[in-house]
Amino acid sequence: MSPRLLVLLMIGLSSLQAIAAPATASDKRTAPRPATEKRANAKAPTDWLQVETVAIANDDVARVYREQLLAWYRTSGAMDERELAALPDADYFAFRPDLTSFSIDSGESAGQWTFAPPDQGRWPGAAVQVIDRSDESNYRILARVHCDAATPGCRRLRAETAAMAPPEPSTRDDSASYDAWRRLIEKEACTAAPKAMPAPRYPESLARKGSGGRVELRLLVNPCGEVRAVRLSESSGYPQLDQSAIDTAWDWRIQSERQASGAIVRVPVDFVPPQSEAAPVGRVERASR
């Protein structure tokens, strides 16, 4: 039997306050989630977002996705060399619903890509490419919708993109453009929903070795408690534990009631190695700011 895990999430929510300052320079920035994953309820203002429809053949979208998926297989360690060599021609090499977003760093395709599931066939025919064009002074996002403009699905994808939540810019946390983005999140239109904070996965290899520690995250949340930015404020000393906490935090909703404004909160996450398979133990303390 695999070791049971105990992950203690400790959150001080009683003293939540409106965001008053950007994250400090000592905090470590983590990669933002694709902007098309979460949608605001209100139409995006045109002062920060420009949406373009790019007429592109379905085969071109499929090619970009195929290249990124193949690169993921090559670097993920999910397959051995023999499997990788045969992968491009393998029958099972096709669209994966759990792998729809990829970041491309350079070239004409640079940006954060999110691919729409294919209506038919093995490969997607539409995608959104989000490009951060912010500078130190201005927050600007360009979203290119790659699809057949004559189709209903393309028009729907464009409308969804125009209503997307503002993605985090790559500019410094103390810049005017980052502050402008933070103010958008602070007053973002959203709908309250039940609090949801699933525990991060505890890597079994570390649990078996008795390796654990505390990860402290610094989160920017919107008025409904949805996470819009994640910082690693304190490392556990184990990159796998840090990354597990970071990855899980993106899907958290830290409160069930809508607040007047967004907030910055600190969330300590304790990975406590199990003392036995039947009764793992740990200690919960109140979070501090």
Q: Domain 6-32+187-272 carries which CATH code?
A: 3.30.1150
Task: For residue range 16-53, list pLDDT tens digits in order.
Answer: 333 333 444 445 566 555 544 444 444 444 689 999 99
Tens digit of each residue's pLDDT (9 = 90 or more) over 52-108 = 999 876 689 999 999 999 999 888 888 888 888 888 878 778 899 999 999 999 888
237 touches 216 (CB < 8 A): no
Whether the predicted pLDDT of 209 surpasses 50? yes
251 and 198 Cβ atoms separated by less than 8 Å? yes
> What is the distance, to the nearest Å, from the Cα of residue 75 to the centroid of all Cα atoms in its chain?
19
Q: Among residues 265, 218, 247, 267, which one has the least CA distance to residue 32?
A: 247
Collapse the DSSP code of 193 into the 3-class scheme (helix H, G, I; strand E, B; otherwise coil) and give the result.
coil
Q: Does residue 6 contact residue 201 with C-beta atoms inside 8 Å?
A: no
The domains of the chain are located at: 6-32+187-272, 35-167
Tokens in use for 258?
């809508």
Residue 104, SS3? strand
User: Is the predicted pLDDT of residue 280 greater than 70, yes or no?
Assistant: no
Lay out the sheet containing 141-147: strands in order across: 49-55, 141-147, 127-132, 111-115, 101-104
